[in-house]
Amino acid sequence: MPWEENEMVVLHFTIHDVYDNIENKISLEEKPYIKFYWKNKKYKNYLKYFTDEINWFSEFFLPYKIGDYIENLIVQIWANSYILKTKKKVAYNYININDVERKRKINGKTELIGKRNGLKIIYSLQLIRYSLYEFMKNTQMLILDKISIYKNDHNIDRKNQNIS
């Protein structure tokens, strides 16, 4: 189904895994997080989105307008520096998304460049309709609410067991 020119769409970027060649993981002691932005060379616009911690599965929703020319999506991984105790960029890469409108979905694996050799990211990138984005976000919030209610009930049960 073709996109309408004025239709609101969202770029759905999913990180399925980020891993190190050596141990197939990034140490959680370093409290890593991922930051990415896209760059339009003509206007030099930067949009940054980030999470507190890299998970096995992280998803991001970025605004997108049909016909926009976006050359690259820049992905960066930051982690604590043992020496300075501050966050430092450990790896990055450019993911070309010029053909996302044609292919609708891109699955990829890319080796990140930086201080950590062998760091790889497995991702998928697709355009989705804004209505689907709203549904996904509402469903996600509903699931998260149910999980927190379950956690609270579980904690109350534990307290009751400790009293008896």
Q: And the tokens for 150?
A: 């379950």
Looking at residue 156, its pLDDT comes to 52
Note the pLDDT of residue 120.
Answer: 77
pLDDT at 45: 53
For residue 107, list its beta bridge partners. 124
Residue 157 to residue 149: CA distance in whole angstroms: 12
For each of the domains in the chain, give its residue range(s) and CATH number, in order of start.
8-131 (2.60.40.150)
Please name which of 91, 100, 95 lies closest in space to residue 119, comparing C-alpha atoms: 91
Residue 136: predicted pLDDT:
79
Contact 96, 72 (CB under 8 A): yes
pLDDT in tens, the chain (164 residues): 566 666 678 878 887 777 777 666 666 566 667 777 766 655 455 555 555 555 556 777 777 776 665 666 777 777 765 555 667 777 777 776 666 667 777 777 777 777 767 777 778 888 888 888 888 777 776 666 666 555 555 455 555 555 55
Q: How confident is the model at residue 104, as a pLDDT?
A: 72
What is the model's pLDDT at position 35? 74
The candidate with the shortest Cα–Cα distance to 80, out of 44, 119, 26, 121, is 26
Amino acid 5: pLDDT: 63
